[in-house]
């Protein structure tokens, strides 16, 4: 009877030990950054998309995501897009995503539509190693992979806002009625701030035969040397760099 009692006690101890070792993935990853819906950490950062739904980006296409002041914008491969960040208690991260409507190669357009539809389904994110952005849908599936734009990694180490790493700022006067400040905040991204209204917008670079051209859903900014052109919902303004 004593031997039986000892064996029973050992069996109970073994079961308790086994149960203690079996934790859920969420419990076991307590030391790892969890998916987040609070988007404050993303403010003033920009990213290059590397994969969508497990597939790498085709044609070395440029797909970017930039965050600034509650807004999201970038280039979807062919067209520029923009939208707003949703409240943190919602089912999605992004609201009212819209894009320009320029035609490109069919495969590039298909990838662009996939990306835009995927962005509309994003519910949370995770940042890994301060340089990798993962976007997840409401079911926890990884939908988008992106890396921090070059030139921002040193700033991220100290959580310096993206604009702080931009040493170059230019002031443009457009048709004697608009004064705006342009900062280069990444290899493919600028911010424009209008002095009169204080409005700030993020624009992403798009392919151009000459000069540098940047777009979002509302504005287009083209620059070559001292000359520039601002387009605001179809209305053009000719600009000159002010020294």
Cα–Cα distances in Å, from 116 out to 4, 8, 41, 50, 184?
A: 66, 60, 22, 14, 25
pLDDT tens across 165-207, in order? 445 688 999 997 899 999 876 657 788 889 988 888 888 877 6
* pTM of the predicted structure, to 2 decimals: 0.55
Percent of the chain's residues with pLDDT above 90: 26
40-157 shares its CATH topology with 163-242 = yes
pLDDT at 223 over 90: no
Instruction: Tell me the CATH number for domain 163-242.
Output: 2.40.128.200
Out of 28-32, 46-50, 62-66, 217-221, least confident range: 28-32
Q: If you average pLDDT over residues 114-128, what whole number do you get?
A: 93
In angstroms, rounded to a whole number, what is the distance separating the alpha carbons of residues 166 and 154?
A: 12
179 Cβ contact list (under 8 Å, min separation 6): 171, 172, 173, 194, 195, 196, 242
Least confident of 55-59, 157-161, 219-223, 231-235: 157-161
CATH architecture observed for domain 40-157: Beta Barrel (2.40)
How many Cβ atoms sit within 10 Å of the Cβ of residue 49?
26
Query: Which pLDDT score, from 0 to 100, does residue 187 have?
Result: 57
**CA 125 to mean position of chain CA atoms:** 10
Angstrom CA distances, 77 to 31, 71, 192, 207, stand at: 36, 19, 22, 10
Number of Cβ within 10 Å of residue 226's Cβ equals: 12
- Give the residue extent of every domain in the chain: 40-157, 163-242
Q: Which of 226, 193, 229 is nearest to 208 (CA)?
A: 229
């Amino acid at each position: 009877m004593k031997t039986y009692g000892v064996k029973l006690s050992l069996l109970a101890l073994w079961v308790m030990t086994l149960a203690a070792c079996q934790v859920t993935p969420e419990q076991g990853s307590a030391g790892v950054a969890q998916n987040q819906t609070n988007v404050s950490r993303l403010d003033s950062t920009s990213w290059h998309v590397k994969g969508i739904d497990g597939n790498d980006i085709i044609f070395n296409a440029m797909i970017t995501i930039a965050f600034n002041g509650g807004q999201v914008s970038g280039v979807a491969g062919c067209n520029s897009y923009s939208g707003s960040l949703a409240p943190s208690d919602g089912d999605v991260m992004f609201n009212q995503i819209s894009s320009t409507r320029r035609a490109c190669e069919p495969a590039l357009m298909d990838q662009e539509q996939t990306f835009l539809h995927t962005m509309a389904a994003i519910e949370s994110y995770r940042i890994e190693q301060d340089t990798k952005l993962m976007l997840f849908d409401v079911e926890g599936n990884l939908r988008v992979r992106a890396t921090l734009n070059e030139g921002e990694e040193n700033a991220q180490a100290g959580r310096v806002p993206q604009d702080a790493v931009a040493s170059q700022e230019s002031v443009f006067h457009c048709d004697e009625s608009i004064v705006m400040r342009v900062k280069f905040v990444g290899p493919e991204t600028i911010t424009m701030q209008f002095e009169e209204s204080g409005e700030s917008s993020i624009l992403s670079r798009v392919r151009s035969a000459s000069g540098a051209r940047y777009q979002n859903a509302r504005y287009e900014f083209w620059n070559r040397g001292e000359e520039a052109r601002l387009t605001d919902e179809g209305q053009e303004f000719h600009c000159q760099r002010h020294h």
